[in-house]
Amino acid sequence: MGIEIFVTEDFASMSEVAADIAKEKIQQVLKQKQEAVLGLATGNSPTGLYKHLAKAANEGEFDSTRCRSFNLDEYVGLPGENAQLRVMHPESYSYFMIQEFFGLLKGKFIETNVPYGALIEQKKLIAELKANPQDWQEKGTGKGKSIAIRKYPDSSYLAWIKRDILDGYARKIRKAGGIDLQIIGVGGRGHVAFHESGIPFKGSSVLLVKLDDNTVANAVADGHFASKKDSPQYAVSMGAGLVYKAKTVMLLANGERKLEPITRSILDKPTAEIPISYGQIYSEKGGNLIYVLDRIAGRELLANRQALKARGIRIREVDVPAPAGAALTA
């Protein structure tokens, strides 16, 4: 247990090394029990890994029909008149997973799960929050906030969200026996999923998050949504406290934008300002944390190799994809 860091040449190499690690972890789990429970992320970082992992499954290197998955997050407020249309919106994370991973598998997972954000009517949510300020409070020091709904809210709609959408997803993960391998990426401010910078670690199971204005603006600027009106204002997301309950957490990061949060998450003390820094606490409690980075994102960690070694953190450079069975060797 502890922290292992693999620094690879580029995105392609990062994806292959990460896929080898994931494949080996799944194989190990399936030798020990009937099914493997995976935690999955969206975004660009894991797309290459998913292609390699699907290929490995299709070639019989592990049995994908013995896998179950839980995704990290999903938008609230996607365009669409009903939940079905919102789930299948091209910008939904459900749609993303079908396109990038699930649809590539010949043998389908036992079950795939994405947080139930599409079930929430954003206009009704906003109205209920406005009408019942006593039922909730914002948590966080940044612009993105967690909307913490009290245990017994007066609003039946907010009570339903807390009971079935938020707590219900966490219960389903527990019922599955917890997550064996959690794959995550990292945002430019060090956030994991929609656990935004500044949202406290404590109590961060499954969150209802009011998105940072910059997150919303960037979604429009990047062409994902036509206008701010069309862009989701909220999301349902696993928080760091739940993400880092997995037996193994593997974080992927590449590029200059990820350099600062990656560096701070390992070299600085854990802080809610950098949610992925919770990984240090996780590893100290016996968790198995693996970073797979490209050379740009891992630049400062390489420069501090000796300091990491003194703390018992293993770091190795992998210029070519590690052969099968070798990816986990420090």
Name the residue ranges covered by the structural domains of the chain.
2-309
**Looking at residue 222, what is its pLDDT?**
78
Query: Distance (Å, rounded) from C-alpha 51 to C-alpha 149?
Result: 38
CATH code, 2-309: 3.40.50.1360
**Looking at residue 175, what is its pLDDT?**
98
**Looking at residue 221, what is its pLDDT?**
82
Measured over the CA atoms of residue 77, residue 239, residue 196 and residue 51, the dihedral's sign is negative
Over residues 265-283, the pLDDT tens digits come to: 999 999 999 999 999 999 9
At residue 210 the predicted structure's pLDDT band, cuts being 50, 70 and 90, is very high
Range from 2-16, 193-207, 216-230 carrying the lowest mean pLDDT:
216-230
Query: Distance (Å, rounded) from C-alpha 280 to C-alpha 23?
Result: 24
- How large is the average pLDDT for residues 157-177? 98
Mean pLDDT of all residues belonging to the chain: 94
Decide which of 189 and 21 is more confident. Answer: 21
Tokens 């649809």 correspond to 103
Q: Which of 229, 225, 199, 230 has its CA nearest to residue 212?
A: 199
Cα atoms found within 13 Å of the Cα of residue 66, Cβ hemisphere only: 17
- How large is the average pLDDT for residues 174-189? 96
